[in-house]
Amino acid sequence: MLNLNRAMVIGNITRDLEVRYTPNGQAVTNFGVATNRRWNDSDGNQKEAVEYHEIVAWGKLAEIAGQYAKKGQKVYVEGRLQTRSWEGQDGAKRNKTEIIAENFILLSPKSGDIAASRDSVEVDVNKDKKEIKAKPKKSADTADEKSSDKGNKDKQEDNDEEINLDDIPF
Protein backbone atom coordinates (compact mmCIF):
# COMPACT_ATOMS: atom_id res chain seq x y z
CA MET A 1 0.00 0.00 0.00
CA LEU A 2 1.24 3.47 -0.93
CA ASN A 3 1.67 6.15 1.76
CA LEU A 4 2.20 9.88 1.38
CA ASN A 5 3.14 12.45 4.01
CA ARG A 6 3.55 15.80 2.25
CA ALA A 7 2.67 19.36 3.28
CA MET A 8 2.98 22.49 1.12
CA VAL A 9 2.26 26.00 2.38
CA ILE A 10 2.65 29.49 0.93
CA GLY A 11 2.39 32.22 3.52
CA ASN A 12 4.17 34.90 5.51
CA ILE A 13 6.94 34.23 8.03
CA THR A 14 5.63 35.20 11.48
CA ARG A 15 8.96 35.78 13.29
CA ASP A 16 12.66 36.18 12.50
CA LEU A 17 14.56 32.93 12.25
CA GLU A 18 17.19 32.01 14.81
CA VAL A 19 19.60 29.23 13.88
CA ARG A 20 20.63 27.03 16.81
CA TYR A 21 22.98 24.06 16.92
CA THR A 22 22.51 20.66 18.55
CA PRO A 23 25.31 19.33 20.81
CA ASN A 24 26.67 17.34 17.85
CA GLY A 25 26.85 20.53 15.71
CA GLN A 26 23.73 20.06 13.57
CA ALA A 27 21.98 23.34 12.62
CA VAL A 28 18.24 23.66 13.34
CA THR A 29 15.77 26.52 13.07
CA ASN A 30 12.09 26.80 13.96
CA PHE A 31 9.79 29.44 12.52
CA GLY A 32 6.13 30.06 11.89
CA VAL A 33 4.27 30.61 8.63
CA ALA A 34 0.79 32.17 8.55
CA THR A 35 -1.63 31.32 5.75
CA ASN A 36 -4.84 33.26 5.08
CA ARG A 37 -8.13 31.99 3.69
CA ARG A 38 -10.93 34.26 2.45
CA TRP A 39 -14.47 33.30 1.55
CA ASN A 40 -17.98 34.70 1.40
CA ASP A 41 -20.56 33.35 3.85
CA SER A 42 -24.17 32.58 2.91
CA ASP A 43 -25.14 36.25 3.51
CA GLY A 44 -22.42 37.49 1.12
CA ASN A 45 -20.17 38.84 3.90
CA GLN A 46 -16.48 38.34 3.35
CA LYS A 47 -14.83 36.19 6.04
CA GLU A 48 -11.16 35.57 6.69
CA ALA A 49 -9.31 32.95 8.74
CA VAL A 50 -5.63 32.61 9.54
CA GLU A 51 -3.81 29.32 10.14
CA TYR A 52 -0.40 29.19 11.78
CA HIS A 53 2.07 26.45 10.81
CA GLU A 54 5.23 25.57 12.73
CA ILE A 55 8.20 24.82 10.47
CA VAL A 56 11.45 23.03 11.42
CA ALA A 57 14.49 23.06 9.13
CA TRP A 58 17.66 21.05 9.72
CA GLY A 59 21.26 21.15 8.50
CA LYS A 60 22.33 23.36 5.62
CA LEU A 61 18.67 24.13 4.86
CA ALA A 62 18.35 25.67 8.36
CA GLU A 63 21.50 27.74 7.88
CA ILE A 64 20.41 29.05 4.47
CA ALA A 65 16.88 29.81 5.67
CA GLY A 66 18.29 31.63 8.71
CA GLN A 67 20.57 33.69 6.47
CA TYR A 68 17.96 34.79 3.90
CA ALA A 69 14.49 34.66 5.51
CA LYS A 70 13.04 37.45 7.64
CA LYS A 71 9.75 38.13 9.40
CA GLY A 72 6.97 39.19 7.02
CA GLN A 73 8.44 37.67 3.86
CA LYS A 74 6.29 35.43 1.69
CA VAL A 75 7.68 31.91 1.50
CA TYR A 76 6.88 28.50 0.01
CA VAL A 77 7.70 25.58 2.29
CA GLU A 78 7.34 21.92 1.40
CA GLY A 79 8.02 19.01 3.71
CA ARG A 80 6.52 16.25 5.81
CA LEU A 81 4.24 16.43 8.83
CA GLN A 82 5.56 15.21 12.16
CA THR A 83 3.86 15.24 15.56
CA ARG A 84 5.80 15.46 18.82
CA SER A 85 4.39 14.54 22.22
CA TRP A 86 5.67 15.50 25.67
CA GLU A 87 4.46 16.01 29.20
CA GLY A 88 4.22 19.63 30.37
CA GLN A 89 5.34 20.97 33.74
CA ASP A 90 1.73 20.76 34.91
CA GLY A 91 1.67 17.04 34.08
CA ALA A 92 -0.63 17.45 31.06
CA LYS A 93 0.21 15.67 27.83
CA ARG A 94 1.03 18.07 24.99
CA ASN A 95 1.21 17.50 21.22
CA LYS A 96 2.62 19.66 18.45
CA THR A 97 2.41 19.00 14.72
CA GLU A 98 5.19 20.57 12.66
CA ILE A 99 6.27 20.63 9.03
CA ILE A 100 9.81 19.29 8.67
CA ALA A 101 11.04 21.41 5.74
CA GLU A 102 12.59 19.73 2.73
CA ASN A 103 12.09 22.55 0.20
CA PHE A 104 12.14 26.28 0.88
CA ILE A 105 11.61 29.16 -1.59
CA LEU A 106 11.53 32.86 -0.70
CA LEU A 107 8.81 34.52 -2.77
CA SER A 108 9.25 38.14 -1.67
CA PRO A 109 12.25 40.45 -1.73
CA LYS A 110 14.41 41.29 1.25
CA SER A 111 12.73 44.11 3.15
CA GLY A 112 14.09 47.57 2.39
CA ASP A 113 16.03 46.42 -0.69
CA ILE A 114 14.46 47.77 -3.89
CA ALA A 115 17.02 46.03 -6.12
CA ALA A 116 16.11 42.73 -4.50
CA SER A 117 12.58 42.92 -5.88
CA ARG A 118 13.82 40.77 -8.77
CA ASP A 119 15.62 38.30 -6.49
CA SER A 120 14.39 34.98 -5.24
CA VAL A 121 16.17 32.34 -3.22
CA GLU A 122 15.31 28.70 -3.70
CA VAL A 123 16.56 25.94 -1.42
CA ASP A 124 15.76 22.37 -2.34
CA VAL A 125 16.71 19.17 -0.60
CA ASN A 126 16.92 16.66 -3.43
CA LYS A 127 17.24 13.17 -1.96
CA ASP A 128 17.82 11.47 -5.33
CA LYS A 129 20.81 13.64 -6.27
CA LYS A 130 22.16 13.83 -2.68
CA GLU A 131 22.70 17.60 -2.77
CA ILE A 132 21.37 20.91 -1.53
CA LYS A 133 21.59 24.01 -3.69
CA ALA A 134 20.93 27.60 -2.73
CA LYS A 135 20.70 29.95 -5.68
CA PRO A 136 19.79 33.61 -5.78
CA LYS A 137 17.69 33.91 -8.95
CA LYS A 138 17.85 37.13 -10.96
CA SER A 139 16.02 38.23 -14.07
CA ALA A 140 17.50 41.08 -16.12
CA ASP A 141 15.06 43.75 -17.31
CA THR A 142 17.36 46.25 -19.04
CA ALA A 143 20.21 46.03 -21.56
CA ASP A 144 22.74 47.08 -18.89
CA GLU A 145 21.56 44.32 -16.59
CA LYS A 146 21.68 41.80 -19.46
CA SER A 147 25.27 42.70 -20.29
CA SER A 148 26.33 42.35 -16.65
CA ASP A 149 24.34 39.13 -16.30
CA LYS A 150 27.21 37.06 -17.71
CA GLY A 151 29.50 38.20 -14.88
CA ASN A 152 26.73 37.59 -12.33
CA LYS A 153 26.16 34.09 -13.70
CA ASP A 154 29.82 33.18 -13.15
CA LYS A 155 29.63 34.51 -9.57
CA GLN A 156 26.37 32.62 -9.00
CA GLU A 157 27.92 29.33 -10.10
CA ASP A 158 30.75 29.89 -7.60
CA ASN A 159 28.16 30.31 -4.80
CA ASP A 160 26.38 26.98 -5.48
CA GLU A 161 27.19 24.45 -2.78
CA GLU A 162 26.78 20.72 -2.84
CA ILE A 163 26.16 19.02 0.47
CA ASN A 164 25.92 15.31 1.13
CA LEU A 165 22.44 14.50 2.43
CA ASP A 166 23.85 11.79 4.65
CA ASP A 167 24.98 14.68 6.90
CA ILE A 168 21.37 15.84 7.36
CA PRO A 169 19.20 13.89 9.85
CA PHE A 170 15.94 13.65 7.89
**Cα–Cα distance measured from residue 17 to residue 145, given in angstroms and rounded to the nearest whole number:** 32
**Cα–Cα distance measured from residue 32 to residue 54, given in angstroms and rounded to the nearest whole number:** 5
Q: Helix H segments across the chain?
A: 59-68, 143-159
- What's the pLDDT at 154? 47
Taken in order of first residue, the domains within the chain and their CATH numbers are 7-167 (2.40.50.140)
**Whole-structure pTM value:** 0.63
Q: pLDDT confidence of 140, banded at 50, 70, 90?
A: very low
- What's the pLDDT at 20? 95
| Structure confidence by residue, pLDDT tens digits, 15-39 | 999 999 999 999 999 999 999 999 9
| Structure confidence by residue, pLDDT tens digits, 4-18 | 999 999 999 999 999
**Cα–Cα distance measured from residue 12 to residue 28, given in angstroms and rounded to the nearest whole number:** 20
